[in-house]
């Protein structure tokens, strides 16, 4: 067999191997994003209508979040925020709209103290979705209802629902167990990536 034919065959084999590796890497990345973001993955996919675009956005969120210096609340800060939440809830009885506004501001304060940038709402929701994908939709819905009521198109019941949605995220942000689980998850993912890199090498 001519030497040039061996070169062609070797090149074809390398191309096939490269395609297989690329597909396997993409499938692994998709699986990791699905597992990490859960319902947020499906929401982003439905919003973009394209899996590649959705995964690009979610991966960008992860990369952005890795630049943050996130930290758990101190015990004193946690107690202070829990007390503040009780005050906000008690205020709802006499002034529901003001209480919902205060709840939103309190969440922003917790996020800032934990190391999240506090920018516009959509960016806050995107940032928090990385660590709290199961409740970020509560945050969005609470915000939507709060804006609806602020425009005079809502009801007291919708304000009550907004408070419930806000509380779901608030409880995760101040919960020490959630911080520990997040740290363990990040360490596990880092170790898995390291092991895979060593295996491929």
Report the 3 state secondary structure along 13-33: HHHHHHHHHHHHHHHHHHHHH
Same domain, 91 and 157: yes
**Is 161 in the same domain as 120?**
yes
The CA-based diameter of the chain, rounded to the nearest angstrom, is 90
User: What is the token pair recorded at 176?
Assistant: 């020490």
Q: Which of 11-15, 113-117, 127-131, 134-138 has the lowest mean pLDDT?
A: 11-15
Query: Number of structural domains, the chain?
Result: 2
Same domain, 104 and 164: yes
Residue 198 is assigned to a structural domain of this protein = no
Kindly report the average pLDDT of the chain as a whole number: 82
Q: How confident is the model at residue 176 (pLDDT cuts 50, 70, 90)?
A: confident
On whether residue 190 sits in a domain, the answer given is: no
Query: Which of the listed ranges 17-31, 78-92, 147-161 does the model predict with the highest average pLDDT?
Result: 78-92
Same domain as 42, residue 23: yes
Q: Who's near 92: CB < 8 A, 6+ residues apart? A: 99, 100, 159, 160, 163
Domain identity same for 106 and 11: no
Question: Is 45 part of any domain?
Answer: yes
pLDDT band at 199 (very low <50, low <70, confident <90, very high): very low
- My answer on whether 85 and 153 are in the same domain is yes
Question: Is 80 contained in some domain?
Answer: yes
Same domain, 52 and 82: no
Task: Pick the closest to residue 162 from 105, 87, 104 (CA basis).
Answer: 104
If asked whether residues 170 and 85 sit together in one domain, one would say: yes
86 found inside a domain: yes
Residue 86 and residue 46 share a domain: no
Instruction: Assess whether 63 and 8 both reside in one domain.
Output: yes
Amino acid 5: pLDDT: 66
| Inter-residue contact 163 to 141 (CB < 8 Å) | no
Same domain, yes or no: 126 and 56: no
Q: Provide the CB-side half-sphere exposure for 149 (13 A, CA).
A: 22
pLDDT at 197: 46
- Beta carbons of 196 and 172 less than 8 angstroms apart: no
Q: Which structural domain, as residue segments, surrounds residue 46?
A: 3-67
125 and 149 share one domain: yes
The structure's pTM equals: 0.72
119 part of a folded domain: yes
Q: What is the DSSP letter of 94?
A: T
The two tokens of residue 63 are 């990369």
């Amino acid at each position: 067999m001519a030497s040039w034919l061996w070169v062609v065959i070797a090149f074809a084999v390398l191309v096939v191997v490269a395609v297989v590796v690329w597909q396997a890497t993409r499938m692994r990345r998709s699986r990791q994003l699905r597992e990490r973001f859960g319902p947020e993955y499906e929401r982003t996919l439905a919003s973009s209508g394209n899996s590649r675009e959705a995964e690009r956005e979610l991966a960008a969120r992860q990369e952005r979040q890795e630049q943050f210096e996130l930290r758990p609340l101190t015990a004193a800060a946690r107690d202070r925020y829990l007390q503040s939440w009780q005050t906000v809830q008690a205020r709802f009885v006499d002034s529901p709209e003001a209480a919902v506004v205060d709840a939103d501001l309190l969440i922003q304060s917790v996020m800032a103290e934990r190391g999240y940038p506090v920018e516009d709402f959509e960016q806050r929701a995107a940032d928090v979705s990385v660590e709290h994908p199961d409740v970020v939709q509560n945050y969005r819905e609470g915000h939507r209802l709060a804006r609806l009521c602020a425009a005079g198109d809502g009801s007291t019941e919708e304000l009550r629902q907004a408070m419930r949605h806000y509380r779901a995220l608030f409880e995760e942000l101040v919960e020490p167990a959630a911080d520990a689980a997040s740290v363990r998850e990040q360490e596990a993912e880092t170790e898995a990536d390291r092991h895979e890199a060593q295996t491929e090498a």
